Structure 1
């Protein structure tokens, strides 16, 4: 028995079993990447609740701007924002770079929910 009594969890066990406060709750994520049917080209204006400081209009034809918009939506958005602004195919194709741009909580939540996003053996894990 643990010196702290029955039912006590060590910090590492607690952290491994609890969702990150820095990532989305599992109920906020879509059930599949196919649900993400956001724009794939053109200009996108993010609402103030997502892009409250700085750039709000993103040209999806510019990879740097697309990645910036996806980072904002992934980091600060909720389910409706994911569905409205993210595209599943674009997310998957840009994920190797995006995963390095978002926090660990966001990265872990999305990769746990969608195994195809996880890095393959031989890819550098950030």
Structure 2
């Protein structure tokens, strides 16, 4: 596959958006982030990244709900994603799509959640 992609694996109704490279992920790692309604359509869209675990919650939401690569570039940081990847809960189809594009995520050391 080349370029940014959205795939729809068998049995998974929503397209999965994956960027071309991890280097394009330049999202915040501190402060307060308010997600737009298309990413956080239910509940509180505010993520205070100074609170433990909130950055992982933010990334999980964005990876699951991204409508375009721009959502990923805006809200996800490459270094934080790599650090958090082993302990993030994601649907199997989402994890597989990202790890197929970025094998280095698969090789990230597993941490206790």
Q: Does structure 1 residue 69 correspond to structure 2 residue 55?
A: no
By percentage of residues, which structure has more strand? 2
Mark the runs of 5 or more structure 2 residues left unpaired by the alignment.
1-6
Q: Does structure 1 residue 88 correspond to structure 2 residue 67?
A: no
Structure 1 residue ranges (4+ consecutive) displaced by more than 4 angstroms after TM superposition: none
- Higher Cα Rg: structure 1 or 2? 1
By percentage of residues, which structure has more helix? 1
Higher relative contact order (CA 8 A, sep 6+): 1
Contact 2:40 2:61 (8 Å CA) reproduced: yes
Q: CA deviation at 1:62?
A: 2.3
Mark the runs of 5 or more structure 1 residues left unpaired by the alignment.
1-17
Query: Secondary structure of the residue that 1:44 maps to in structure 2?
Result: strand
TM-score of the aligned structures, taking structure 1 as reference length: 0.71
TM-score of the aligned structures, taking structure 2 as reference length: 0.79
Query: Which residue pairs with 1:43 in the alignment?
Result: 32
Query: Secondary structure of the residue that 1:63 maps to in structure 2?
Result: coil
RMSD: 2.3
